[in-house]
């Protein structure tokens, strides 16, 4: 190894700080992706309770599903920790029963639902959706749930309704990542996400209680999470305890943490780079090759009309 001291180095030979960060992020991400399907530190959990649902072919992509072992051992769920295997390793701490979801705000019929009551109220569907992470990896998952629109319409939004806000459980005993400083990183807990009302009412937006024919595993957002397939994965709030219909755009967790990197809309747009890496390509977990990232994650025909006339670089 050649070691050169500062007086011998020309300024033109020094790697810029931004370029250094980009290279570092790329190398760390590539290494993590290569290791993801076979990391021994996060063994696949035992098969959970089966959950029956009707397959909805109109909402199924033709891509083969990602292996269940990968989906349950390689996760972003910062309530458990910042490492991809933290959720599987610590998932046993989460107690998904009993569980209630408060639905309120600008609605005529606010109510707190028991999770099992929700599951009984609405017919469950299986839908195979793509999930695209802002870090550049993607999965294909057979989710089980029901349209979020069914629940929102049931509580009858008033004329003041403009947005829907989701709040995740706040409990540091069950979510060690919420203990400030434990992992050297902290969001402003509880985790809050949001959608515009028309986005929340879109037929693709799913309130999800299972996947792969069984109840939702803890590390994947049990007992209930949102899935918004044309947006980056962090928009799909996990372990939801409250759904609030509001008039103003919610201030979301990642917006507060890094507003220059994570905007409110967060639609998959390959022409808008993340400040620290390109979004033009992605790697499907279990594959080595990179794929071209599709606009709106491949759902442009269904959702592009929601953003007609909007500057999708400004409203990222």
pLDDT at 173 over 70: yes
Contact residues for 165 (Cβ-Cβ < 8 A; gap 6+): 105, 192, 193, 194, 242, 243, 244, 245, 246, 250
How much is the mean pLDDT over the chain? 88
Q: State how far the alpha carbon of 213 is from the alpha carbons of 76, 79, 197, 220, in Å.
A: 22, 25, 29, 14
Which structure tokens are listed for 136? 């550049």
Express each pLDDT in 201-237 by its tens digit: 999 999 999 999 999 999 999 999 999 999 999 999 9
Q: Characterize 274-295 residue by residue with b for buried, 16 or more Cβ atoms within 10 angstroms of its Cβ, and e for exposed.
A: beeeebeebbbbbeeeeeebbb
Biggest distance spanned by C-alpha atoms of the chain: 72
Contact residues for 296 (Cβ-Cβ < 8 A; gap 6+): 230, 267, 268, 269, 302, 303, 304
Categorize the per-residue pLDDT at 110 as very low, low, confident or very high, splitting at 50, 70 and 90. Answer: very high
Quote the domain boundaries for residue 281.
15-307
Q: State how far the alpha carbon of 162 is from the alpha carbons of 13, 65, 99, 312, in Å.
A: 53, 35, 27, 20
For the entire predicted model, the pTM comes to: 0.86
Would residue 56 count as lying in a domain? Answer: yes
How many distinct structural domains can be found in the chain? 1
Q: What is the pLDDT of residue 74?
A: 97
Would residue 5 count as lying in a domain? Answer: no
Contact residues for 116 (Cβ-Cβ < 8 A; gap 6+): 97
pLDDT at 31 over 60: no
User: Exposure of 198 by Cβ count < 10 A (0-12 exposed, 13-18 middle, 19+ buried)?
Assistant: middle
Q: What is the mean pLDDT of residues 178-199?
A: 88
Would residue 316 count as lying in a domain? Answer: no
pLDDT at 37 over 50: no
Express each pLDDT in 266-312 by its tens digit: 999 999 999 999 999 999 999 999 999 999 999 999 999 999 999 99
Lowest-pLDDT choice from 55-59, 79-83, 179-183? 179-183
Express each pLDDT in 247-265 by its tens digit: 999 999 999 999 999 999 9
Other CB atoms within 10 A of residue 112 CB:
12
Would residue 218 count as lying in a domain? Answer: yes
Would residue 243 count as lying in a domain? Answer: yes
Contact residues for 53 (Cβ-Cβ < 8 A; gap 6+): 124, 125, 126, 144, 210, 213
Q: What is the pLDDT of residue 32?
A: 40
Would residue 6 count as lying in a domain? Answer: no
Would residue 212 count as lying in a domain? Answer: yes
Categorize the per-residue pLDDT at 47 as very low, low, confident or very high, splitting at 50, 70 and 90. Answer: low
CATH of the domain at 128: 3.90.420.10
Q: What is the pLDDT of residue 14?
A: 40
Would residue 187 count as lying in a domain? Answer: yes
pLDDT at 22 over 80: no
Q: What is the pLDDT of residue 186?
A: 78
Q: What is the DSSP letter of 217?
A: P
From the list 90, 88, 102, the residue with the least C-alpha distance to 169 is 102
């Amino acid at each position: 190894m050649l070691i050169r001291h500062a007086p011998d180095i020309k300024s033109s030979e020094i790697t810029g700080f931004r370029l250094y960060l980009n290279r570092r992020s790329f190398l760390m991400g590539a290494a993590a992706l290569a290791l993801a399907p076979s990391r021994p530190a996060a063994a696949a959990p035992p098969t959970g309770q089966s959950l029956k649902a009707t397959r909805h072919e109109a909402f199924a992509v033709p891509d083969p599903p990602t292996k269940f072992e990968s989906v349950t051992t390689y996760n972003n769920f910062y309530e458990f920790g910042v490492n991809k295997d933290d959720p599987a390793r610590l998932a046993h701490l989460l107690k998904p029963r009993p569980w209630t979801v408060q639905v309120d705000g600008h609605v005529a019929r606010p109510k707190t639902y028991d999770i099992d009551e929700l599951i009984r109220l609405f017919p469950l569907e299986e839908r195979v959706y793509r999930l695209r992470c802002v870090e550049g990896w993607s999965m294909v998952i057979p989710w089980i749930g029901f349209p979020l629109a069914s629940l929102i319409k049931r509580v009858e939004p008033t004329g003041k309704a403009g947005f829907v806000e989701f709040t995740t459980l706040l409990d540091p005993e069950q979510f060690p990542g919420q203990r400030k400083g434990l992992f050297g990183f902290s969001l402003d807990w509880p985790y809050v996400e949001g959608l515009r009302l028309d986005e929340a009412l879109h037929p693709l937006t799913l309130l999800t209680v299972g996947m792969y024919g069984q109840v939702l595993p803890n590390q994947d957002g049990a007992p209930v999470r949102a899935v918004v397939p044309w947006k980056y994965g962090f928009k799909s709030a996990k372990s939801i305890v409250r759904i609030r219909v509001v008039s103003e755009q919610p201030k979301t967790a990642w917006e507060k943490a890094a507003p220059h990197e994570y905007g409110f809309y967060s639609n998959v747009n390959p022409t808008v780079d993340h400040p620290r890496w390109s979004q033009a390509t992605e790697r499907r977990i279990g594959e080595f090759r990179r794929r071209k990232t599709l606009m709106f994650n491949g759902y442009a025909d269904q959702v592009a009309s929601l953003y007609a006339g909007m500057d999708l670089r400004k409203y990222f």
